[in-house]
Amino acid sequence: MAHIVGQSTGARSPRGDHALSPALRGNADNLILLCPRDHAEIDARGALDVFTVDRLRRLKQEHEDRIRHVTGLGQDRATTVVRVVGSVHGQAVELSRGAAANAVTAQSRFPLFLESYTRYGVEVDLRHMPGEFCAPSQDAQSAAASSRSYYQYAVKAINDVIKHQLRLGIERDTVQHVSVFGFARLPLLVYLGSVLDDTVPTDVYQRHRSEQSWIWPAGGGPATEFTVCVDQDAPAEGEAVVVMNVSGTIARYEIPAELAALRRYEISPVGTPTHPDILRQPASLQSLETTMRGFLASLETEAKTLRRLHVLPALPMSAAVTLGRTHHPQVHPELVIYERLAGRYVATLEVGRATC
């Protein structure tokens, strides 16, 4: 137990020359709990200009507010945290257990990390797997070929954790809600979404570039709406293309030549340009999910013979996970996910095979 304003008046007591009445210095408002090392640090004479009365009071208040918030949440606000971490173009981001906990707490939930599996929760680490990086000198087809081993290892890693760990928790009724954090190559995030259990309520989190945070920004403005249009009206016989212009725009000339003659759809935002931080709030992601589900449902009636849907994604990562979650392999066409490699879009991963 430490005093914020020293127990004794005068300069000999740390912060003892503060105007606080001596009669109030033993009250709870002037006390904080510290380990011995931190107690010695804040009371060190050379640190008094850093650990001021105002700063210590603020730290105490912030901590008490957080604990009051977390302990006030009922058991129904618990969520099982799932983290999938990879590298994108050689870059990785901070996606620690603490970062995930802060994000779900901001949404009035408290995180469970399934200690029965691992002290660090449900985590899939896709970094440093064979074939992760493509040589700059490779052409698109060679880059795709060299990525195949990486995707094989990555898919196996996702299956091992999601199917063999998270699903056990669901079957044992210890998982009531899931919070998903994913930073990896888009085809893998679509696959991740496809193997998540659709019967358990799930929140998908987005990393926001401007804040460099996983916390949904407060006051993100009105929700963004999305629409689907037919960009090329050709018979949908067996195969079709969907260009998902959400976080960026894929030009028509970038569409692979082998797909040029197919019926083509485009999903894009309404009344706002595409940009990387377009999903500023959960309502925008929900709006995009509703659009995706409506689009896939329309294919059931408009294109009953459709077996394969070639997907060219310019998507935020949360939207890639959501795309996988909206797809039903027993109902919808197989998804062929493309990726931009060496300046061209090439098919890299197939998700969900349609049944006859």
Statement: residue 309 has pLDDT above 50? yes
Same-domain pairing of 326 and 345: yes
Same-domain pairing of 143 and 200: yes
Does residue 215 sit within a domain? no
* Residue partners of 299: CB distance under 8 A and separation at least 6: 236, 240, 306, 309, 332, 333
* Cα–Cα distance measured from residue 112 to residue 119, given in angstroms and rounded to the nearest whole number: 10
The pLDDT score that the predictor gives to residue 65 is 72
Same-domain pairing of 30 and 18: yes
What is the chain's percent helix, strand, coil content, to nearest 5? 35, 20, 40
* Cα–Cα distance measured from residue 78 to residue 171, given in angstroms and rounded to the nearest whole number: 17
* Cα–Cα distance measured from residue 133 to residue 262, given in angstroms and rounded to the nearest whole number: 31
Confidence of residue 158 (pLDDT cuts 50, 70, 90): very high
Does residue 290 sit within a domain? yes
Give the CA-trace dihedral at 92, 96, 100, 102, to 10 degrees. -120
Count structural domains, the chain. 3
Does residue 217 sit within a domain? no
Residue predicted with more confidence, 276 or 78: 276
Statement: residue 303 has pLDDT above 90? no
Q: Are 276 and 248 in contact (CB under 8 A)?
A: yes
The tokens 């929900």 sit on which residue?
Answer: 286
Same-domain pairing of 243 and 343: yes
Q: Domain boundary at 71, 103, 130, which?
A: 71
Structure tokens at 292: 């995706």
Same-domain pairing of 198 and 92: yes
Same-domain pairing of 106 and 135: yes
Same-domain pairing of 59 and 95: no
* Cα–Cα distance measured from residue 190 to residue 193, given in angstroms and rounded to the nearest whole number: 5
Domain that holds residue 331: 226-351
pLDDT more than 90, % of the chain: 47
Does residue 316 sit within a domain? yes
pLDDT tens digits, residue range 30-74? 999 999 999 899 988 888 889 999 999 999 888 887 777 667 666
Does residue 92 sit within a domain? yes
Same-domain pairing of 130 and 195: yes
Same-domain pairing of 87 and 200: yes
Residue predicted with more confidence, 122 or 70: 122
Same-domain pairing of 280 and 301: yes
Same-domain pairing of 81 and 199: yes
Does residue 300 sit within a domain? yes
Same-domain pairing of 247 and 134: no
* Cα–Cα distance measured from residue 345 to residue 302, given in angstroms and rounded to the nearest whole number: 27
CATH code of the domain in which 285 resides: 3.40.50
pLDDT tens digits, residue range 167-205? 888 888 888 899 999 999 999 999 999 999 888 999 999
